[in-house]
Structure 1
Amino acid sequence: MREARSLRSVLRAVLVAAVSAVLFVGLVGTASAAPPSDAQENSACVGRTIPTSKISIQLWTFAEYIGFGTDAATQARLEEVLSQLAAMGYRNVEPFSLSGLTAEQFRALLDEYGLKASARHVNVGTPTATVDIAAILEENRILGIKYFGSGGTPNLNTEAEWIAYAQYLNAVGEQARKAGQTLMVHNHNWEFTDVFNGRTAYDILMAYTDPKNVVFQLDLYWATFAGVDPIALIERYGNRIQLFHVKDLNPTLNRRIEIVGRGNIDFASIFAAAGGGIRYYVVEHDPRFGDETFDPFEAAEEGFDYLTCKRA
């Protein structure tokens, strides 16, 4: 697989060089030609408009490839992924699992490939199923992580349950803040479709958590999937939204998750609305389990290339 990706990269480089040569000749021969379109300018990628320091990737993209084990083979696949991401230009990753490694071992692996953990998805519990937050905070300290939170909220049934969950998160967030870290909430679609007395579950989470204790990682795909305009959320909640999960939506194939740049989400407008206040733009593509046509490495590479051509 690594050889195939290397060959693909070489072929793409040859193609880009050939296209560039043709465009150059065309421009020389037609001084009065119309200026290039936005799409052409983006494909030329003139300058980095989102700093590499702000670009990350959720390793869940590679969940099927890496696997869920804790054995040496799983850890070897994890290392291969980190190596490939570093070669693509990534400087940050967002883990969802340590694959059986200790925090010290995982940190050493990141250091080896010049990577940092921008944030982390880890189970932070619920009011009825608490976890050892102190242990998570210690792991985060070793890993060098500031932002952390569960990969998703529970799909609760009542307003009272959502309020209790928000209050629980606020307490966890206060504990994190005192340790120099920040709890984040990552959404799916139900936080917007579950409505109680005129308020969505997302609104309740905002209302019952202190901005000092809890921030939000807005998943742009799931918000769009739920029929919510991400720009409206940004305008309403401002700097409480500090991270984006950047994944696209295919409007024709059952609105499935799509490789960034191939769908119909208007990322440029969303990023402009955020006004540069986003700490990390995190590429993600949920695995298409069992679909051999999906290449997570391709999704990662195209996502990185796309973000480096967009204005923060």
Structure 2
Amino acid sequence: MREARSPRSVLRAVLVAAVSAVLFVGLVGTASAAPPSSAQGGSDCVGRTIPTSKISIQLYTFAEVIGGGVGEQERHEEVLRRLAEMGYRNVEPFTLSGWSAEEYRALLDEYGLKASARHVDVGSQYSPADIEQILEENRILGIKYFGSGSTAGAPWVGELTTEADWIAYAQYLDAVGEQARKAGQTLMVHNHDFEFTTVFGERTAFDILMQYTQAKNVVFQLDLYWATRADLEGSPNADPIELIEQYRNRIQLFHVKDLNTELGNRIEIVGRGDIDFRSIFAAAGGGIRYYVVEHDPRFGDPTFDPFEAAEVGLAYLTCKRD
């Protein structure tokens, strides 16, 4: 089975790793697939890597726990409480679970948490969202970064089918981003794999989103799992290091989730898969504002514990090991 780094980036990874040992020792430590026993760092930790102030977690990791209906708010609050106890200081909500922005902000404050960013539907040219309302909620929540958890080009949405559709969508996002910038906030675009598997000539849909949005209006949250998966499966222009090198400051946040090649490129707990995070983080240097741990839920799988995924992910990012 093909390994989790593409052949075209093997030499680059070697060079980056050599440079990173000198330049980024204060930011990135040697990664190990066997994490410390505690989210605060086990006894074998010899230092810190990424500071907790730059680490967050996407709460969609707990979508099955939070659920819906009766008891949703209680379950959501329990997730926040346990994350705070683990040592998280930031979370990335995907739902307010029926609370008002004021109520959710009070809940975050109670547990010493900050909303580093937010996934919320920002709409498209075909179905615009109420951006003013979103911006006002973000202001109350104290959120700077926000964006849809998926673009309108997702196969399950089906709004964008042509190159012209994608260009118009990018232009819509740029206008939303301008509106956000004037309100002191920042629109981010989060990718899955389909932005790389959708290709028009020599441009992927991801390239189109970059080309038709302005850096001052729109930044990107690069999901390292989905980009790596698209690269492994042969999509052009998807290698994470090449994307970082090409687009540099446009990429300001990471979704950090791992990939298991032995299990059909399945999403894996951070540090237990095959993605070379060390080289990716080194290539990004100090340009990433938030490293967001995430593991999509394995709905109906009782062997998966999202709290374990959260704890191991935090330990992996914070613990520098020999």
Are the structure 2 counterparts of residues 254 and 139 from structure 1 closer, same or farther at C-alpha, using a change threshold of 3 Å?
same
Are the structure 2 counterparts of residues 167 and 40 from structure 1 closer, same or farther at C-alpha, using a change threshold of 3 Å?
closer
Residue segments in structure 2 that go unaligned for 5+ positions in a row: 1-29, 37-43, 154-159, 232-237
Post-superposition offset of 1:45:
2.1
Residue segments in structure 1 that go unaligned for 5+ positions in a row: 1-36
Look up the match of 2:170.
166
Whether the 8 Å CA contact 1:45–1:308 is kept in 2: the answer is no
Post-superposition offset of 1:125:
0.3
Whether the 8 Å CA contact 1:195–1:201 is kept in 2: the answer is yes
Question: Does 2:230 correspond to 1:226?
Answer: yes
Equivalent residues in 2 for 1:201-220 (5 A)?
Answer: 201-220=205-224
Equivalent position to 1:99, from 97, 100, 114: 97
Return the alpha-carbon distance in structure 2 between the equivalents of residues 289 and 38 of structure 1. Answer: 29
The TM-score with structure 2 as length reference comes to 0.82
Look up the match of 1:16.
none
Return the alpha-carbon distance in structure 2 between the equivalents of residues 40 and 251 of structure 1. Answer: 14
Equivalent position to 1:135, from 117, 133, 141: 133
Return the alpha-carbon distance in structure 2 between the equivalents of residues 49 and 236 of structure 1. Answer: 25
The sequence identity of aligned pairs, in percent, is 77
Equivalent position to 1:257, from 250, 254, 267: 267
Are the structure 2 counterparts of residues 137 and 290 from structure 1 closer, same or farther at C-alpha, using a change threshold of 3 Å?
same
State the structure with more CA Rg: 1
Return the alpha-carbon distance in structure 1 between the equivalents of residues 31 and 300 of structure 2. Answer: 36
Whether the 8 Å CA contact 2:123–2:152 is kept in 1: the answer is no
Look up the match of 1:68.
68
Return the alpha-carbon distance in structure 1 between the equivalents of residues 297 and 269 of structure 2. Answer: 11
Whether the 8 Å CA contact 2:260–2:274 is kept in 1: the answer is yes
Larger RCO: Structure 1 or Structure 2 (Cα < 8 Å, ≥ 6 residues apart)?
A: 2
Return the alpha-carbon distance in structure 2 between the equivalents of residues 207 and 117 of structure 1. Answer: 29
Query: Greater helix percent: which structure?
Result: 1
| Per-residue deviation, residues 232-271 of structure 1 (Å, max 9, x unmatched) | 0000000100000000001011211000001000001100
Return the alpha-carbon distance in structure 1 between the equivalents of residues 45 and 124 of structure 2. Answer: 44
Aligned residues between the structures: 273
Are the structure 2 counterparts of residues 132 and 196 from structure 1 closer, same or farther at C-alpha, using a change threshold of 3 Å?
same
Instruction: In structure 2, give the amino acid aligned to 1:110.
Output: L
Instruction: In structure 2, give the amino acid aligned to 1:205.
Output: L
| Per-residue deviation, residues 25-79 of structure 1 (Å, max 9, x unmatched) | xxxxxxxxxxxx974997522222101000000000000000133x4x1111111
Instruction: In structure 2, give the amino acid aligned to 1:102.
Output: S
Are the structure 2 counterparts of residues 222 and 109 from structure 1 closer, same or farther at C-alpha, using a change threshold of 3 Å?
same
Instruction: In structure 2, give the amino acid aligned to 1:120.
Output: R
Instruction: In structure 1, give the amino acid aligned to 2:66.
Output: I
Whether the 8 Å CA contact 2:31–2:271 is kept in 1: the answer is no
Equivalent residues in 2 for 1:1-312 (5 A)?
Answer: 39=32, 43=36, 44-69=44-69, 71=70, 73-155=71-153, 156-227=160-231, 228-309=238-319
Return the alpha-carbon distance in structure 1 between the equivalents of residues 273 and 287 of structure 2. Answer: 24
Return the alpha-carbon distance in structure 2 between the equivalents of residues 310 and 229 of structure 1. Answer: 25
Instruction: In structure 2, give the amino acid aligned to 1:167.
Output: Q
The TM-score with structure 1 as length reference comes to 0.85
Are the structure 2 counterparts of residues 133 and 252 from structure 1 closer, same or farther at C-alpha, using a change threshold of 3 Å?
same
Return the alpha-carbon distance in structure 1 between the equivalents of residues 219 and 121 of structure 2. Answer: 16
Are the structure 2 counterparts of residues 82 and 203 from structure 1 closer, same or farther at C-alpha, using a change threshold of 3 Å?
same
